[in-house]
Amino acid sequence: MITFKNLVAGYGRAGDILRGIDFTAPESAITCIVGPNGAGKSTVLKACSGLLRPRGGQVLLGDEEIGGRSPAEILRRGVVQVPQHHGLFPSLTVRENVMLGAFVNRRERDRNRRRYEEIAQVFPLIAERAGDKAASLSGGQRRTVEFARALMLRPRVVLLDEPTLGLDPKACKQIADSITTLNKEGVTVLMVEQNVRFGLTLADHAVVMEGGRVLHTGAADALLADPDMGRLFFGAAPEQQETS
């Protein structure tokens, strides 16, 4: 479980971007943050993974304060971020790319090998394409390899920033399956998604942000069914929209 309490954060000398964020991403559930561009969604994830030091408030992993700790310390506690623009190494194989997820524990070869085998069972793509260069994969397949890599350290929490960005609908389906798989492994997922319908369909809990504040928290399906939310995000009732 990740809890944000009155979290304040920003960049450099500029004013605060996050102006008191309060919400909880419950254990072993999928929580999706939605909201317009510039709302501060990615900033919340950065404050959680240690890429950005909070100016105030708390980030709690269970009962433990992790806000302000280094990215390495937070990673060691089981919080892994798959960033918005993340690359695989194109000239390395799928297996090599996944194994890099355990780089910090690279001396524990047997343990890493066993973990890899588990992951290859969970994601059939990994087993099928293990020896192929990452460069030969489609966009959706690459994203799946990034997820698999994030699982190498048996994370408690996975942070996903815009997992479907730039992907076609078929690839989005693959990503949805991969996120569901992460979740079935008991991982707590906190994701940001600009594809609101996609994110809320997948998620258990929704957080709506705007202007560095939380406007709403609640069940994702309730928000999806809410006509006001249709106006907010789609400019029309949801049923009048193309899902393509």
Ligand X SMILES: Nc1ncnc2c1ncn2[C@@H]1O[C@H](COP(=O)(O)OP(=O)(O)O)[C@@H](O)[C@H]1O
Give residues in contact with ligand X (CB under 6 A): 11, 17, 35, 37-43
CA distance 153 to 139: 23
Nearest distance in Å: CB 138, ligand X: 25
Q: Give least dist CB 186 to ligand X, A.
A: 27
| Interaction mask 194-213, Mg ion, x per CB under 5 A | --------------------
Strand, helix or coil for residue 166: coil
203: helix, strand or coil: coil
Look at strands 56-61 and 64-65 and give their pairing. antiparallel
What are the tokens at 179? 């996120």
Measured from the CB atom, the residue of 13 and 107 that comes closer to ligand X is 13
- In the bound state with ligand X, the residue whose beta carbon lies nearer, of 37 and 244, is 37
Residue 103 binding: pick among Mg ion, ligand X, none (C-beta 5-8 Å cut-off by kind): none
Does position 42 bind Mg ion by CB under 5 A? Answer: yes
Whole-number minimum distance, CB 63 to ligand X, in Å?
27
Tell me the residue type at 37: N
Smaller CB separation from ligand X, 94 or 167: 167
188 binds, among ligand X, Mg ion, none (CB under 5 to 8 A by kind): none
User: Whole-number minimum distance, CB 87 to Mg ion, in Å?
Assistant: 17
Q: How far apart are CA 178 and CA 238, in angstroms?
A: 25
Rounded to the nearest whole angstrom, what is the least distance from the CB of residue 207 to ligand X in the complex? 11
Question: Would you tell me how many other CB atoms lie within 10 Å of the CB of residue 221?
Answer: 14
CA 45/CA 50 separation, integer angstroms: 9
Query: Residue 144 binds which one of Mg ion, ligand X, none, with CB within 5 to 8 A depending on kind?
Result: none
Alpha-carbon span 44 to 47, nearest angstrom: 5
Name which of ligand X, Mg ion, none residue 112 binds, using a CB cut-off of 5 to 8 Å depending on partner kind.
none
Number of residues that bind Mg ion (CB under 5 A): 1
Q: Give me the count of residues in the chain.
A: 244
38 makes contact, choosing from ligand X, Mg ion, none, with CB < 5 to 8 Å by partner type, with ligand X
Distance CA 214, CA 122 (A): 35
Smallest distance, Mg ion to C-beta of residue 240, A: 27
Rounded Cα distance between 224 and 98, Å, is 34
Q: With CB cut-offs between 5 and 8 Å by kind, which of ligand X, Mg ion, none does residue 152 bind?
A: none
Report how far residue 90's alpha carbon sits from residue 97's, in angstroms, rounded to the nearest whole number: 9
Q: Which residues bind Mg ion (CB under 5 A)?
A: 42
